[in-house]
Amino acid sequence: MLVKELRQGLRTRSFIAVFLTLQIILGIILLSAGALATSDYAGQKISNVIFIFFSIAVLVIQPMRGIAALSSEIKGNTIDMLVLTRLSAWRVVTGKWAAIVSQSALILVTIIPYLILRYFFGGMNLVGEIMLLLLIFVTSATITAITVGLSASASAILRSILPMIALPIGAMTLLGMIFDGGNSNIAEFCALDTKESRIFVPCYLAACAYVGFFFLSTGTSLIAPYAENHSTLRRLIALALTCIAAVLCSFSFTDPMAIPFVFGLIFAPVFAISLSEFAPLVSPVFQKFSRYGPFGKLAGIFLFPGWPSGVFFCLLLSCVSVIPFVLNQRPTYGSDEPVIFALCFLGTLLFPAVIINLFKMKGAHRVSNYVLFGVASFIVAMLLMGLVETMSNKDFMWLFIWIPPVLLFMQAGSGFDDGDVFVAAIVIDALLIGILLVLAMREYSFSIREVKKSIASVE
Amino acid sequence: MSEAAISVHNLYRFFGPLQAVNGVSFEIPHGSVCGFVGANGAGKTTTMRILASLDYPTMGHAEICGINVIHHPAEVRRLIGWMPDHFGNYDNMTVLEYMDFYARALGYKGAERRQRIDEVMEFTDLVPLADRFSNKLSKGMTQRLCLGRSLLHDPQVLIMDEPAAGLDPKARVELKHLIRVLAKEGKTIFISSHILSELGEMCDSLLFINNGRIVHHGDAESLKKSTDLLGGVLYDVQLDGDPQALSDWAVLQPNIEFLESRKTGGRIRIDTEDPNKAADVLSRMIRDNLRVIDFHREQRNLEDAFIDILANLERDANFVPAPPPLPPQSEQLPQEPRFDP
């Protein structure tokens, strides 16, 4: 797959254009800087320019090529021919991803001579800048995994939302690098000189690996036959990570506010996919679990593909994530802020799932509907918060607490009692969980009945 | 291993309220060519996709060479070659690179891969196109490329969905020739088409599907020799002399209908397929001084036979008992494509 994608990819106009433009721009800048350099900061400025153009190429343009990776195969009806070969759906997806990442690596390699030349201008934090370059590359690979994974989605909205999100984020990052003291601060942080950076860099790499795997696996599920079950492995990895995070957060973290952020990072993708996953329970998958007797049946409740078991699984993850909060409830914290934040965030993740499952939205668009409702509720909450800031009486915000992101903003903003928000978050979460549980149990028992009937019809 | 190369039993596939495949059962023996005929939306492509392990039935089961397509899709995929009804080609990839990619994807390595590509390209006459970009080929060339791709792993069963659609006459003849050669090599071929006359020439048997149900399974010859909707058969009669004499004679005969006049005779319809009656008609013609130089039963064309079968079904619908109750429709099984078309 990689060979075919590279053959095609290296011939595409977009790659050739990016590659040549980058070389020409960097060449011109380096030559002119070499001729005009008078200050000690010349090297720093050259570094900035190199990183800005490299970031545009690998964080914005290259990942955007992933948007068409699987959708072009689906539209062209070539995906059927691919999955009929010995290539597994996973290899198809990772091959597409690896081809784009390889081209990004090619761009990275061609940057190195400019960095070597820049070294002679002085003032270079060698380890920091190389590490920063690698982190940008890893980020690029992760964003590419997201775009490639989602490119198998039925929803054109979801696929077209991505560039709209990626572009501003990429642009903001670049502006931050230019106007916020250049890349030197970031490079110094990345040099692994401090304890924070030695913790942050591995954690960041692990997070990238998890997010990248998760989206590639999601793309695989979307193109694989229903008899191939990729959901279970994905959920098991999320469960393992949640357990590790629970242990680490219980005994290592000093700042309790970090706990909801850590779990939020793990939960966001797994909740989005598991609560909206449209994957029918088919007999081969069911029978694999049934082989393990009662243990298999119990595991199936949480690990069968499809959103009904996804609901049970997400609640299981939520229960695991409660452990560090319980263990860390020491008087020194002084407030319930992390707990309130975690409850509001949980509600924010559950709310779109309740909407799409309550109104039985179409299977092919469930993930995109989840994302769209999530984004929409967030925007509504932001607008309401903006509105309430201009008003003297803020009580009208309580009318909108059924939109969980509103609670998130109320907790973060001033003028609302933490205790009230805490109670509201518990009530809203309980309500959302209750609705989801009822819907999931009904659908789960129905799908079990159907799959048993299907097995009986074959026998 | 099952005796049949393709075996389908009580297959159902629902898309929401649409019953695309509705209790289909049939068997196709090894080494035979079977044509699959039906109107658009009759359920041909859905059935074929299930057989190719690309779709999942709501109920029932299907086997390729005795292997269940639902439980063992990977094994089934090694046995089948699949030609979809429409497909795109890759940009920036030559025909040779295209074949090379699929040969690699099918697990061929080194010299074996090159040899297999050469064999298939030669068989499908793709050698002169080796350096052409695959997305710049004509429809006929593209179909040959697709056939070549589907033959790379030397499958036992070929499933071809409308392979002749959109081809010009020359390309159609070439494709027909290739299919005949493959049939001679002993491959089982399951092919759908709208062009029934071509299927009749190529296929050992024909499957007619309508509204998701199989309405006929038999060989083309029996269809060609079948009676029309009312049980009558057509005869072509050639005379030595005035052709008008035939129509004048036929008007006076019971159970005979004159259909059309021809240059040296005409077509008549006898309302029974009993050969003794035909012999009686001929002897009466001779007795009545019609100078008959040719009298033979016309073979029906397959389109007429297909339409008559459908009309028969419609006519009988009021008399046959209602079909057995359908299995309850699953809300959980896939009811819509996962991808936007």
Q: Which residue of A has its CA nearest to B23?
A: A457
Q: Which of B91, B293, B310, B81 is nearest to B213 (CA)?
A: B310
Q: Is the dihedral of CA A119, A124, A128, A133 positive or negative?
A: negative
Task: Tell me the residues of chain A between 63 and 92 that have a Cβ less than 8 Å away from chain B.
Answer: 74-78, 80-87
CA angle B89, B93, B97 (to 5 degrees): 105
Please enumerate in sequence order all residues whose Cβ is within 8 A of that of A296, keeping only pairs 6 or more positions apart, or say none: A288, A289, A290
Whether A225 and chain B come into contact, CB under 8 Å, resolves to: yes
- Tell me: pLDDT of B210 over 70: yes
pLDDT of residue A314: 94
User: Is A77–B84 a contact, with Cβ atoms under 8 angstroms apart?
Assistant: yes
* pLDDT exceeds 80 at position B299: no
Put simply, whether A181 touches B (Cβ < 8 Å) is no
Considering only CB atoms, A86 lies closest to which of B68, B105, B327, namely: B105
DSSP per position, A134-153: HHHHHHHHHHHHHHHHHTT-
Rounded to whole angstroms, how far apart are CA atoms A47 and A125?
10
Instruction: Name the minimum distance, in Å, from the CA of B198 to any CA of chain A.
Output: 26
pLDDT of residue B328: 47
Lowest mean pLDDT among A321-325, A336-340, B333-337: B333-337
* Cβ burial A202-231 (10 Å sphere, 16+ → b, else e): eebeeebebbbbbbbbbbbbbbbbbbbbbb
Cα–Cα distance, A313 to A156 (Å, whole number)? 28
Confidence of residue B341 (pLDDT cuts 50, 70, 90): very low
| Buried b / exposed e along A402-413 (16+ C-beta atoms within 10 A) | ebbbbbbbbbee
What is the per-residue pLDDT across B85-133, written as a single tens digit (0 to 9) for each? 877 778 788 999 999 989 998 889 889 999 999 999 998 888 999 899 8
Q: Mean per-residue pLDDT for B259-285? A: 84
Say if the Cβ atoms of A363 and B338 lie within 8 Å: yes
- Residues B69 and B73: their CA atoms lie apart, in Å, by 5
Interchain contact, B59 vs A280, CB within 8 Å: no
User: At a CB cut-off of 8 Å and minimum separation 6, what does B318 contact?
Assistant: none
Model confidence at B233: pLDDT above 50? yes
| B157-161 and B188-192 strand pairing | parallel
pLDDT at B334 over 50: no
pLDDT of residue A318: 92
Residue A210 has a pLDDT of 92
Ramachandran bin of B97, using left for φ above 0, alpha for ψ from -120 to 50, beta for the remaining angles: alpha
Tell me what pLDDT residue B229 has: 61
How far is C-alpha B267 from the chain's CA centre?
Answer: 29
Of A76, A225, A364, the CB nearest to B53: A225
Per-residue pLDDT reduced to its tens digit, B31-90: 889 999 888 888 899 999 999 988 888 888 899 999 988 888 888 998 999 998 877 778
B contacts of A87 (beta carbons < 8 Å): 105
- Residues contacting A232, CB < 8 A, separation 6+: A303, A304, A305
DSSP H or E run through B300: none
Q: Is residue A214 within 8 Å of residue A273, measured between CB atoms?
A: yes
Q: Is pLDDT at A236 greater than 90 in this prediction?
A: yes
* Residue A363 pLDDT exceeds 80: no
pLDDT tops 90 at residue A86: no
Cβ-Cβ contacts under 8 Å, A76 against chain B = 87-90
Q: What is the pLDDT of residues A105-150, one digit of tens each?
A: 988 888 888 878 777 776 677 788 888 888 889 989 998 998 898 8
Q: Is B324 on the interface with A (CB under 8 A)?
A: no
Q: What is the pLDDT of residue A291?
A: 87
Q: Is B9 left (phi over 0), alpha (psi -120 to 50) or beta?
A: beta
Tokens representing A231 are 């959901």
Number of Cβ within a 10 Å radius of residue B283: 10
- pLDDT tier at A171, thresholds 50, 70, 90: low
Report yes or no: B87 at the A interface, CB cutoff 8 Å: yes
Query: What is the average per-residue pLDDT within A269-275?
Result: 91
Question: Which structure tokens are listed for A427?
Answer: 């009530």
Supply the ipTM of this predicted assembly.
Answer: 0.73
> A364 CA to chain B: closest CA distance, Å?
5
Kindly determine whether residue A222 and residue B338, on different chains, have CB atoms separated by under 8 Å: yes
**Chain B residue with minimal CA distance to A225?**
B54
Q: Which of A3, A100, A111, A102 is nearest to A60 (CA)?
A: A100
Least Cα separation, residue B167 to chain A (angstroms): 19
CB atoms B93 and A4 under 8 Å? yes
SS3 B272: coil
Mutate one of B332, B333, B340 to test the A interface: name it (highest A CB count within 10 A). Answer: B332
- Classify residue A62 as left (phi > 0), alpha (psi -120 to 50) or beta: alpha
Higher pLDDT pick, B11 / B271: B11
- The pLDDT score that the predictor gives to residue B319 is 55
